[in-house]
Structure 1
């Protein structure tokens, strides 16, 4: 038999990922990392999820939780780096300890918007693209809770912004579902930049891979394409605040250069007098 306390605690575990929005009270963040040894295995239906209340704060608390939620980066670093700290040897195990839906302490930091904590913990080699049982990543979590600065740090650290959850949603879609407008705008911007980066990489690979390329290419044309790709990469690196419109314009400019050359690559040549680089 599942007790009322058991139902409430389990509902809080599922609240962020399965309800129609983040919990109204962020104090429930701490509850997801209490010891779960006595948790029953029965499913909690959606009605119970919606009616969930804050569980009693009982059980063994993960010693990393408090510094993670309060932004105590120095405290976390002492645990990880001081051999004399009583939790030092279990630091990584404590960091990766999961709740019943597969969320570790990094998710608590995302919920609390502790961007500096995420940045600090990333250097210990954690997988920032790890997914929960239902496919949610840290980016999905930060997007759902409207943690814009945390989203920026995660993107800066190179997380996969195209990762999908069990609903086939990207983080941008989750932000939209929870009406996190600023997060939607930022992720739209990040996706636009990623699209340009991927196009540059694809074009570069096409003209440098003799086996996968669509055809032979004159040296002059190859240099034109590679120079154009280099210029666009440099533009991305030096225009970190460029708008989505500007990013799309850069991509269109590259396409205008590349398309006629690739069309020529795919067109059979007449005669053999012309020399190519291959």
Structure 2
């Protein structure tokens, strides 16, 4: 490891934000920059950002991400592959998926923050685009770990973020469908859909202290409102439009998870 990587890592462990900032600023000004400034890891495969999040150091985590730390990077522990190999045949792994996928199913920064109960870090990582659906080799999402270890506030934060993401994804889906040149929607139907999207977008931007149930209710309301338009009989829909609706319905059902399990583990 380089002296720079070690300095970054030690600043994170000691919680010295000023030392970290000085180190990163010197590196930014240097002509020859470190290829992987956050490459140093501990014996558990945790880099600087992962340790910062595990220790609950919000300001340090923000500083690391601002300088290029990858928010969704995972730990790299050797037990993932062996754990999976014990539960499935080697042949099925070769036939159904890429082996390297299993080697990357460690813990993300959001997993660590959630299971240690660092609410501030959880909120920060969500804001910075952390993957809410990332799963470990045991199939655990960040919210699952928060619930397992009774980190109630973190679990509620993550459930709310998931519900918000669900609503925003549905709004984006409808917007894409409206703008699709192959769409068979009439002008009046498109205008109706656009109004529904605008109303939900305005609600998302203006609501204060919403809960997961609030986002879920808004999602269901929008879906119920647009169902007569988006779920026309197949004969009235062009193939691409019908496929898009079907794909979206599939994505938000338990069938998605069952499909993934079958593809990876059968």
Q: Report the TM-score when normalising by structure 2.
A: 0.69
Cα distance, 1:116 vs. partner? 0.8
Choose between structure 1 and 2 for higher RCO, CA contacts under 8 A separated by at least 6 residues. Answer: 2
CA contact under 8 A between 2:58 and 2:124: conserved in structure 1? Answer: yes
CA contact under 8 A between 2:53 and 2:61: conserved in structure 1? Answer: yes
* Counterpart mapping for 1:216-227 below 5 A: 216-227=184-195
Structure 1: segments with no counterpart, 5+ residues: 1-34, 36-60, 270-278
- Judging changes above 3 Å, is the alpha-carbon distance between structure 1 residues 107 and 145 closer, same or farther for their aligned structure 2 residues? same
Cα distance, 1:130 vs. partner? 1.0
* Counterpart mapping for 1:181-196 below 5 A: 181-196=152-167
CA contact under 8 A between 1:148 and 1:183: conserved in structure 2? Answer: yes
* Counterpart mapping for 1:72-151 below 5 A: 72-82=16-26, 93-133=36-76, 134-151=105-122
Which portions of structure 1, spanning 4 or more consecutive aligned residues, are displaced by more than 6 angstroms?
A: 87-92
Cα distance, 1:108 vs. partner? 1.2
Cα distance, 1:265 vs. partner? 6.7
Alignment match, 1:41: none
Cα distance, 1:76 vs. partner? 1.1
CA contact under 8 A between 1:143 and 1:174: conserved in structure 2? Answer: yes
Root-mean-square deviation (CA, aligned residues, Å) is 2.7
From the CA coordinates, give the structure whose radius of gyration is larger: 1
Number of aligned residue pairs: 206
Supply the distance in 1 between the matched residues of 2:198 and 2:179 (Cα, whole angstroms). Answer: 14
Structure 2: segments with no counterpart, 5+ residues: 77-104, 238-266
Secondary structure, counterpart of 1:125 in structure 2 = coil
